[in-house]
Amino acid sequence: MRKSRVKAKLSRNEPVLVTTLHLSDPSMYELASLMGFDGLWLDLEHHHHSVETANTLLRAARVGTSDVMVRPAKGEFMRMGRILEAGAQGIMYPRCDNAEEAAEVVRWSKFAPLGTRGIDGGNPDMPYCTMPLTDYLREANEQTFTVIQLESPESIDHVDAIAAVEGVDVLFLGPGDFSILAGIPGQFDHPSIRDARDAIAKAAKSHGKHWGSVGFSPEHSSELVEQGARFICHAADLLILKQGFERLQSDFSKLGFTFNNQLGK
């Protein structure tokens, strides 16, 4: 079974960098994985990808060394098993409200005795019925990770109990939704965001778990790491392309080229 780069680094208390890929071109996953990012974030909550498409993207990533972390939508417990069977190393579960919901995530994503995930074996994660069953069950539990997203003020009230759930590996502050639900949309320096971050860091340390968040810049990511975060998500293919196109237009506009930019710039 493929070893998890993310879990190996976290076990050594090393920082992990995950970047997001929104485009459904397998070449993006192949390229990023060959470049050796720790993890690639594949989002099935907000984007149109089917499980079949996700399977193709996961296969492309296996040519390199990157883990792929897949985020289903809230409550899509049955989908997690198919995602893991397709070869995802990590599950990111959004909008977790309390410890009971976090325990449900673990039940669906881990084999007994940690959970009640169903067995198949004839898929890329094993891969393809090539391992003794007992080895597969052990390795699948050891080489996959569970990230629980805390995205509301109410979830922070339960952060200590969530951190105590066996099988939860990472607590993750989702600053975008948190800011909206807290009534401070986009105010990522607001004291409420800092207080939530402090509470997550404290709970993670108390229960021997890791935590992380979105790093908006290298400087912001450094602040998170200094506070103890080891799971940092930064950038996305769409943003990288957009920024590259903007630089191209800026450079060539100086040479007299003009552009019919429909985005207001």
Q: Residue 186's domain is classified under what CATH number?
A: 3.20.20.60
User: Does residue 263 sit within a domain?
Assistant: no
Residue of 30, 216, 243, 233 lying closest to 147 (CA atoms): 233
User: Does residue 29 sit within a domain?
Assistant: yes
Average of pLDDT values for 34-51?
96
pLDDT digit string (tens) for 124-147? 999 999 999 999 999 999 999 999
pLDDT over 80 (residue 117): yes
Q: pTM here? A: 0.96
Q: What was the pLDDT predicted at 264?
A: 73
* Structural domain span for residue 190: 5-253
User: Does residue 239 sit within a domain?
Assistant: yes
User: Does residue 118 sit within a domain?
Assistant: yes
User: Does residue 213 sit within a domain?
Assistant: yes
pLDDT over 60 (residue 265): no
User: Does residue 106 sit within a domain?
Assistant: yes
pLDDT digit string (tens) for 164-223? 999 999 999 999 999 999 999 999 999 999 999 999 999 999 999 999 999 999 999 999
Q: How many domains does the chain have?
A: 1
Average pLDDT of the residues of the chain:
97
Tokens of 15: 């920082």
The contacts of residue 116 (CB under 8 Å, 6+ apart) are 107, 108
User: Does residue 261 sit within a domain?
Assistant: no
